[in-house]
Structure 1
Amino acid sequence: MPPHVAIVTDSTAYLGDDALSAHGITVVPLTVVIGDEAFEEGTEISAPAVAHALQRRHPVTTSRPSPAEFAAAYGAAAASGADAIVSLHLSADFSGTYDAASVAAKDAPVPVRVVDTGMVAMALGFTVLAAAETAASGGTVDEVVAAAEKRAADTSAFFYVDTLDYLRRGGRIGAAQALFGSALAVKPLLRLADGRIELLEKVRTASKAISRLEEIVAEQAGARRVDLAVHHLAAADRAAALAERLRERVPGLDGLVVSEVGAVIGAHAGPGLLGVVVSPH
């Protein structure tokens, strides 16, 4: 009988409660700090609260979980019967979460494989689900990791932000690029590549940028079977309208998630974020 492989991830995967419960996925939360108050993502603070704080120019930072928090999660999974654990996390270029998980894995009561997916938001979420489905079908640790790595490698994420300033403040994109974009008063389109945020195109207006985002997603999806996720922060109407247009333009669409990003990603991207994850099967 193959070993029972438990799946652990972090709160930036933004999976819904139903998906987490259905697959028995454990989530270790990151922390958002507003001023001198710390809040756990997913339970103690909402993305709208972060958007409000950013709009009022309150200092907003984020921090990784501690190794002790991961140790507790791994211990609980082992106590529940897991023979091994696959722990899947957001890009190590964005956060020290992967490092904290790796420290805890060394002393875990069962073997733990920690994976830097290079992803974030539902790009991470779809990767986690692929791993969970393989584990549920009796896959070994190697098979679970391989399923996750394949899904991550095939997944793309594109996004629009009203300004690069929040990403610059958080160190998630180079200051020179941020200043260049602001000087030209452009609306930037970005992508996730090799675990980093890259400037993809500069467009003159918000409406043109969002239309271009739609074009890029349709081209990336092609005729393949894909899952899509449309994320936003304080831009629900824009997200809903984009999702409806993508329903019409993506012939191989299987699943479509429309959701506001969580507090951690919101803190770095800022209000007005509109992103799309394209994840082929």
Structure 2
Amino acid sequence: MSRHVAIVTDSTAYLPQQAMERHDIATVPLTVVIGGRALEEGNEISARSLAQALAKRRPVTTSRPSPATFAAAYRSAAEAGATGIVSLHLSAEISGTHDAAVLAAKDAPVPVRVVDTGMVAMALGFCALAAAEVAEAGGSLDEAVAAAEKRAAGTSAYFYVDTLDYLRRGGRIGAAQALLGSALAVKPLLQLAGGRIELLEKVRTASRAIARLEEIAVERAGAGPVDIAVHHLATPDRAESLAGRLRERVPGLGELHVSEVGAVIGAHTGPGLLGAVISPR
């Protein structure tokens, strides 16, 4: 990291590898624990392996990075020439990752601004890209933070899951909401709101839920310049189909990323996830 402001995020941003390399964004991995074995997301476990473990009903949990892991990332950035670091992470409402970063930042060799984006997946990734672009243009630490916070404030994330059971088990959605989603075989649409995962709508069938997800994405995107990410877990055909329709229907579309989520988010959503992140420029 040769520029004076370095960007650090975590593995739940699910940024394309090419984008991370192009913008020199460092990533700190979260951990997935399967049957008592701890595995680093992105390095030691794939989404496919996670889906197989879930299908076999093996016990799966997740955990935040340690403060020591963040401290090592901050030292590495400083040694590479950074005089300040923006550390951007998934919502503190659903993970202790932000808290671990805050602890590590206290003893970092250069100033570190830790930002709770209130986001996850490419909703977080777009924030990291916004900060990186400002840093690359010679912006200050405060300016890079402001760019990330502005992007977060305008970004929306919506997603469909086949069942709320995985979110309920992981404590990421309330039991009452999970019961509502399970009643009468209703298919749930969810959103990130205030950094939390909340039930947005209940739709009768999977096909109608996915069609409704598309409509919400198009409405939210509007006519102005916007970047979109389509995420999935073990449903690539659904994702490519949705992405193709959004390409046709969103006039101001800039970047469109289609990717499978990693093991950490997949552990809480289960196979069948289909998500849309809408991020106006």
TM bucket normalised to smaller: over 0.9
SS at match of 1:240: helix
For 2:148, the aligned partner's letter is A
- Give me the TM-score of the superposition, normalised by structure 1: 0.98
> How far off its partner does 1:181 sit?
1.6
Distance 2:111 2:188 in 1: 43
**In the alignment, what sits opposite 2:216?**
216
Distance 2:244 2:21 in 1: 28
> What do the CA deviations read for 1:180-199 (whole angstroms, capped 9, x no partner)?
22122100000011100111
Distance 1:16 1:258 in 2: 9
**In the alignment, what sits opposite 1:57?**
57
> What do the CA deviations read for 1:87-135 (whole angstroms, capped 9, x no partner)?
0000001111000000000000001000000000000000100000001
Which consecutive segments of 4 or more residues in structure 1 shift more than 4 A? none
Distance 1:183 1:218 in 2: 28
> What do the CA deviations read for 1:161-189 (whole angstroms, capped 9, x no partner)?
00000000000000111012212210000
Distance 1:252 1:51 in 2: 34
| CA RMSD, 1 decimal | 0.8
Distance 1:15 1:165 in 2: 27
Distance 1:181 1:99 in 2: 31
User: Percent of aligned pairs with the same residue?
Assistant: 76
For 2:248, the aligned partner's letter is E
Distance 1:136 1:235 in 2: 36
Distance 2:199 2:106 in 1: 37
For 2:235, the aligned partner's letter is A
> How far off its partner does 1:23 sit?
1.2
For 2:52, the aligned partner's letter is H
Q: How does 1:108-257 map to 2 (within 5 A)?
A: 108-257=108-257
For 1:53, the aligned partner's letter is A
Distance 1:20 1:190 in 2: 28
SS at match of 2:109: coil
For 1:268, the aligned partner's letter is H
Unaligned runs of 5+ in 1: none
Distance 2:272 2:158 in 1: 14
Distance 2:233 2:210 in 1: 14
**In the alignment, what sits opposite 1:273?**
273
**In the alignment, what sits opposite 1:93?**
93
**In the alignment, what sits opposite 2:80?**
80
For 2:194, the aligned partner's letter is D
Q: Which moved more, 1:180-189 or 1:137-146?
A: 180-189
For 1:145, the aligned partner's letter is V
> What do the CA deviations read for 1:248-272 (whole angstroms, capped 9, x no partner)?
1111111110100011000001000
Distance 1:181 1:264 in 2: 22
> What do the CA deviations read for 1:48-87 (whole angstroms, capped 9, x no partner)?
1111111111110000000000000000100110001110
Distance 2:45 2:31 in 1: 9
> How far off its partner does 1:220 sit?
0.5
SS at match of 1:228: strand
**In the alignment, what sits opposite 1:48?**
48
Count of residue pairs the alignment pairs up: 279
**In the alignment, what sits opposite 2:21?**
21
For 2:92, the aligned partner's letter is A
